[in-house]
Amino acid sequence: MTPGTSQPVRVRFAPSPTGYLHVGGLRTALYNYLFAKHHNGKFILRIEDTDQSRKVEGAVENLISTLSWAGIPYDEGIDRPGDFGPYVQSERLDLYRRHAEELIRFGKAYYCFCTPERLEEVRKKQIAAKLQTSYDRHCRNLDKDNVESLLAAGENHVVRMKVPLDGELSFEDEIRGIVTIAYQVLDDQVLLKSDGFPTYHLAVVVDDHHMQITHVIRGEEWLPSTPKHILLFRSFGWETPVFAHLPLLLNPDKSKLSKRQGDVAVEEYRAKGYLREALVNFVAFLGWNPGDEREIFSLEELVREFSLERVGKSGAVFNVEKLNWLNFEHLRRKSDVDILSMLREYLAASEFAATQFDDAYLLSVISAMRDRVSFVREFVEKSPYFFKPPIEYDPTVVKKRWKSETPELLRRLIGEFSSLGNPAKEDFEAALHRTAEASKVGNGEIIHAVRLAVSGIGTGPGLYDILFLLGKEESIRRIAAAIHTLG
Ligand code: GLU
């Protein structure tokens, strides 16, 4: 339970299936989930598909699988039936119609028979007169008999909400405080369309009531609709849920977060190899903070700490640098074995799908590289030489490290390596030192050239770690190949 309601907490994420899951949608889902779990309540997934023209094939399945990838489970939804289903609006049309008729009986709504042509006329006149465009309430006061005969004649009609002509409506938003709006600015909103489908406004209120939603937590873009919803709740004589409108998501230049400036689909971040833990942690901070310096949170910690009181009003900037940093931090917190299974998954979809690597080998690669990568794919991108021999050598490193005497030094090194039996890391090191000493050069003369020969590049983990990981035979093969190629 929570202040503001006397019932157990029930919240919902109510996306329209229009395609991908927007990061803003993920934030709404996450905040609802965190709020529900913090209060031992229920989190519901409701599909709002009343606008059939915007419906996209496969969008619902995609939503469900993306939420499941993100690790945000819901208690009730299409595939998790509860007591308040169906959880898809297009399967609840009767309910909306019944309630629309009820509102007409209460005198809170009315039939409107205006044709699209007439409405267009009205609109044009209002525009020409520089007035705000809205329905001119032509059918608001039709007499009862007239309405009856038009209905009997099967005239096309919609149902409109009867907004009071004066006065104002106030409500308290958990995040924004008191919001007041004059009824005059509200249109006589269509509630039921001529095709029998409800508009979003009617469906959302009917469902929030019947699904016993206690808190409506959603993006700020819905704030202008909220007075209409509250008016509807009151018209039905239903208890109004608590409202909380989350701040806008902004690009770093403070414009509204848009597809043009970067990725907004959760699916994109998933495909790029971001960890769910990092993305969830990142999204949690888009509007909320714990009130202190801590930044790395697991989902369980977020559930424990989340509260609407700590959600701010001002827009939240979407900063990819921070997301990358969080990915690094969350990857660092994974065990080698967890990383192994992610690396295997990555390899299975890569050019190395058919190459055999045993677990012990991959685990060694992981421990050598794990402090140097922010993404699982970087194990391969930053150290491809652990997965295949170099096919080329970084020219700037060649210029700096490959001298005329290098081939001869490396030939001697190969000789030393060959005589080693089952060498440990230290044995490679000692063999290299012996070669340098016998050749009267510093160790560095050989170390950098060997690194180049076995990896093709000039940076990476310790050379002896690399040699040990590759093993004696492979190291010798690669050094010989470099002598052959670079001369
Ligand atoms: N169906 C709306 C959407 O697509 C939901 C708005 C609400 O949560 O009331 O975001």
Q: What is the pLDDT of residues 63-93, one digit of tens each?
A: 999 999 999 999 999 999 999 999 999 999 9
Q: How far is the CA of 481 from the centre of ligand 1 (A)?
A: 62
Q: How far is the CA of 15 from the centre of ligand 1 (A)?
A: 5
Please name which of 267, 292, 256, 459 lies closest in space to residue 369, comparing C-alpha atoms: 459
Distance CA 319, CA 321 (A): 5
Ligand 1, atom 3, residue with closest C-alpha: 15
Q: Which of 20, 46, 63, 218 to mutate to test the pocket of ligand 1 (most atoms within 8 A of CB)?
A: 218
State whether 137 and 15 are in the same domain.
Answer: no
Q: What is the pLDDT of residues 379-401, one digit of tens each?
A: 999 999 999 999 999 999 999 99
Give yes or no for a contact between 281 and 297, defined as CB atoms under 8 angstroms apart: yes
Q: How far is the CA of 16 from the centre of ligand 1 (A)?
A: 7
Q: What value does the CA radius of gyration of the chain take, rounded to a whole number of Å?
A: 32
Distance CA 56, CA 20 (A): 9
How many whole angstroms from its chain centre is CA 127?
Answer: 40
Sign of CA dihedral 128, 131, 135, 139: negative
Q: Tokens 């990819």 sit at which residue? A: 320
CATH number at residue 269: 1.10.1160.10
Structure token digits, residue 325: 């940093």
Q: How far is the CA of 167 from the centre of ligand 1 (A)?
A: 27
Predicted confidence at residue 255, as pLDDT, reads 86
Q: How far is the CA of 306 from the centre of ligand 1 (A)?
A: 22
Structure token digits, residue 323: 């997301």
Q: How far apart are the first and last CA of the chain?
A: 76
Residue 467 is assigned to a structural domain of this protein? yes
State whether 486 and 413 are in the same domain.
Answer: yes
Strands 158-161, 190-192: pairing kind: antiparallel
Q: How far is the CA of 198 from the centre of ligand 1 (A)?
A: 14
Predicted confidence at residue 260, as pLDDT, reads 65
Ligand 1, atom 2, residue with closest C-alpha: 15
Q: Give the total residue count for the chain.
A: 487
In ligand 1, the atom with minimum distance to the C-alpha of 208 is: 9
Residue 4 is assigned to a structural domain of this protein? no
Active site residues per annotation: 259
- Given 313, 332, 351, which residue is the final one in a domain? 332
State whether 325 and 398 are in the same domain.
Answer: no
Strands 177-182, 168-173: pairing kind: antiparallel
CATH number at residue 126: 3.90.800.10
State whether 485 and 400 are in the same domain.
Answer: yes
CATH number at residue 487: 1.10.10.350
In ligand 1, the atom with minimum distance to the C-alpha of 225 is: 9
Residue 2 is assigned to a structural domain of this protein? no
Residue 125 is assigned to a structural domain of this protein? yes
In ligand 1, the atom with minimum distance to the C-alpha of 12 is: 8
The boundaries of the domain holding residue 186 are 94-192
Structure token digits, residue 356: 């055999």
Q: How far is the CA of 228 from the centre of ligand 1 (A)?
A: 14
- Given 168, 192, 216, which residue is the final one in a domain? 192
State whether 340 and 472 are in the same domain.
Answer: no
Residue 236 is assigned to a structural domain of this protein? yes
Sheet-wide strand order for 10-13:
42-45, 10-13, 215-219, 242-246, 168-173, 177-182
In ligand 1, the atom with minimum distance to the C-alpha of 25 is: 10
Distance CA 393, CA 410 (A): 16
Q: Which of 32, 90, 200, 216 to mutate to test the pocket of ligand 1 (most atoms within 8 A of CB)?
A: 200
Amino acid occupying residue 224: P
Structure token digits, residue 54: 């915007």
Give yes or no for a contact between 45 and 12, defined as CB atoms under 8 angstroms apart: yes
Predicted confidence at residue 263, as pLDDT, reads 83
In ligand 1, the atom with minimum distance to the C-alpha of 16 is: 4
Residue 282 is assigned to a structural domain of this protein? yes
The 3-class secondary structure across the chain, one letter per residue, is CCCCCCCCCEEEECCCCCCCCEHHHHHHHHHHHHHHHHCCCEEEECECCCCHHHCCCCHHHHHHHHHHHHCCCCCEECCECCCCCCCEHHHCHHHHHHHHHHHHHCCCEEEECCCHHHHHHHHHHHHHCCCCCCCCCCCCCCCHHHHHHHHHCCCCCEEEECCCCCCEEEEEECCCEEEEEEHHHCCCCEEECCCCCECHHHHHHHHHHHCCCCEEEEEHHHHHHHHHHHHHHHHHCCCCCEEEEECCEECCCCCECCHHHCCCEHHHHHHCCCCHHHHHHHHHCCCECCCCCCCCCCHHHHHHHCCHHHECCCCEECCHHHHHHHHHHHHHCCCHHHHHHHHHHHHHCCCCCCCCCCHHHHHHHHHHHHHHCCCCCHHHHHCHHHCCCCCCCCHHHHHHHCCCCHHHHHHHHHHHHHCCCCCCHHHHHHHHHHHHHHHCCCHHHHHHHHHHHHHCCCCCCCHHHHHHHHCHHHHHHHHHHHHHHHC
Pocket around ligand 1 at a 6 A CB cut-off: 14-16, 48, 204, 218, 222
Ligand 1, atom 10, residue with closest C-alpha: 15
Q: What is the dihedral of CA 58, 60, 63, 68, to 10 degrees?
A: -100
How many whole angstroms from its chain centre is CA 319?
Answer: 13
State whether 74 and 209 are in the same domain.
Answer: yes
Distance CA 454, CA 260 (A): 43
Structure token digits, residue 244: 């909380």
Give yes or no for a contact between 425 and 465, defined as CB atoms under 8 angstroms apart: yes
Residue 1 is assigned to a structural domain of this protein? no
CATH number at residue 246: 3.40.50.620
- Given 192, 208, 223, which residue is the final one in a domain? 192
State whether 394 and 372 are in the same domain.
Answer: no
State whether 138 and 169 are in the same domain.
Answer: yes
Q: How far is the CA of 160 from the centre of ligand 1 (A)?
A: 20
Predicted confidence at residue 487, as pLDDT, reads 87
Ligand 1, atom 6, residue with closest C-alpha: 14
Q: How far is the CA of 219 from the centre of ligand 1 (A)?
A: 8
List, for the chain, all residue ranges whose pLDDT scores fall below the cut of 70: 1-5, 259-262
Q: Which of 222, 228, 248, 264 to mutate to test the pocket of ligand 1 (most atoms within 8 A of CB)?
A: 222
Please name which of 274, 254, 402, 267 lies closest in space to residue 319, comparing C-alpha atoms: 254
In ligand 1, the atom with minimum distance to the C-alpha of 48 is: 1
In ligand 1, the atom with minimum distance to the C-alpha of 14 is: 5
State whether 439 and 471 are in the same domain.
Answer: yes
Distance CA 362, CA 285 (A): 34
Q: Tokens 């209002």 sit at which residue? A: 126
State whether 326 and 408 are in the same domain.
Answer: no
Number of structural domains the chain divides into: 5
State whether 52 and 34 are in the same domain.
Answer: yes
State whether 35 and 66 are in the same domain.
Answer: yes
Q: Which residues contact 277 (CB under 8 A, 6 or more apart)?
A: 71, 298, 299, 330
Asked whether the bond before 86 is cis by omega within 30 degrees of 0, the reply is yes
Residue 3 is assigned to a structural domain of this protein? no
Ligand 1, atom 5, residue with closest C-alpha: 14
Q: Which of 204, 243, 249 to mutate to test the pocket of ligand 1 (most atoms within 8 A of CB)?
A: 204
Please name which of 186, 181, 170 lies closest in space to residue 132, comparing C-alpha atoms: 186
Predicted confidence at residue 253, as pLDDT, reads 85
